[in-house]
Structure 1
Amino acid sequence: MARLYYAPRLLLTLVALITIVVPYIADYNETHVLNPTWPGHARFHGGRTMSMGVYLGFMTLWKTWSRDQDHLWTATMLAATYYITQFSAYYYPGATAWDPPQHFSVPHVHLYVVVPMLSLVALAQIMERWRVSGIDDGGRKAL
C-alpha cells in the first residue's frame, strides 16, 4: 500500500522540481532576461515569472508532503498553476513563444512541456482519489 501512498506525491514532487528549475534554464539567458534589447519592464516580468515558478514549486512540495486533509488537492492546484498560465500566454496579442535569434519549426513548442506536466498533475490527482477511495488487500480502507 505504501507505493499507492507515495506515487501521487512523487509525481507532484517531480512537477514541483521541474517548475522550480526549468524557468531559469529557459529564461535566464541572453534571449530573455539578459537580452540587452529588452526594456526594464520586460525583465521585470521575466523575473516575476521565474520567481513565480520557484514559489509555486516550493508551495507544491509543502502541500504535497503535509498532513493536511486537503493537502494533495491544494498541491495539485498549485502544481497546475504555472502550466495553465504558460498555455494562456499564447492568447495575448502579439505574444510569441520565441524571439530571434531562437527559432523552432514546431508551432506552439511550449505545449510539449505544458501537456505532459498537466498530465502528470492530473495523473497524481486521479491516483490519489483512487487510493483514498480504494480498499487494500486486507479489506481495509486505504489511508
Structure 2
Amino acid sequence: MISTLSIRRVMLTVAVSVLGVLVPYLEYSPTHIFNPDWPGHAKLHDVWQLLTNSAFAAAAVFMAWTRQDLRLAARLGLVAPVAFLVSYFTMDLYGGSMVNSDGTEHRFGSVNASLVMMLMVSAVLSYLAIADGNAAERGRER
C-alpha cells in the first residue's frame, strides 16, 4: 500500500516540476529567451530567473525525498509561485504584461493560463507547507 508520505512527496514533486521543468521548457522559445526583440539584458534576467526557479525546485524535491516532514520543502517550493503571483498582481505598477511579443496570450477560458497554473501549484504547496504529514505516519507506526 502506498503511504501518505509517498503521496505527499509525489504531489510536491509534480507541483515544483511545473516551475523547474515545464516553465523553462515553455520559455525556451522565440517569444521569450530567443525573442529577437528582447534586449540581451532582459534575456539574461529570464534565464537567471529560470535557473533560480529550477534550483529551488530541485532543492525542494531533494528535501521532500530525504526527510519525513515535507513542510520546509513545500515552503521552499512556494518561493517561485508566490513571487510570480506578486509580480502578476502588481504588473500595472511597472508596465508588465502577460501578452507575448507576438500578441498571443495563453488562456484557460477567460483567465491567463500561467495565473491558473501558479494558483494550482501554490494551493498544493500551501497545503503541504502547513499539513502535518507526520501525524498519519506516526499513527501507523503505533
Normalised by the length of structure 1, the TM-score is: 0.81
Structure 2 partner of 1:132: 134
How far, CA to CA, are the matches of 1:113 and 1:53 in structure 2? 15
Tell me whether 1:117 sits opposite 2:118 in the alignment: no
Larger Rg: 1
The answer (yes or no) to whether the contact 1:23–1:53 under 8 Å persists in 2 is no
Structure 2 partner of 1:103: 104
How far, CA to CA, are the matches of 2:35 and 2:5 in structure 1? 45
Q: Which amino acid letter does the alignment assign opposite residue 110 of structure 1?
A: S
What residue ranges of structure 2 are gaps of 5+ in the alignment?
Answer: none
Aligned residues: 135
Deviation per CA, 1:36-85: give whole Å up to 9, x if none. Answer: 11101100111011101210111011111123x7x522201111111001
What residue ranges of structure 1 are gaps of 5+ in the alignment?
Answer: none
Normalised by the length of structure 2, the TM-score is: 0.81
Q: Percent identity?
A: 20
Deviation per CA, 1:85-118: give whole Å up to 9, x if none. Answer: 1111121410111223142363543211111101
Structure 1 62/111 Cα, relative in aligned 2: closer, same or farther at 3 Å? same
Structure 1 18/108 Cα, relative in aligned 2: closer, same or farther at 3 Å? closer
How far, CA to CA, are the matches of 2:25 and 2:57 in structure 1? 15
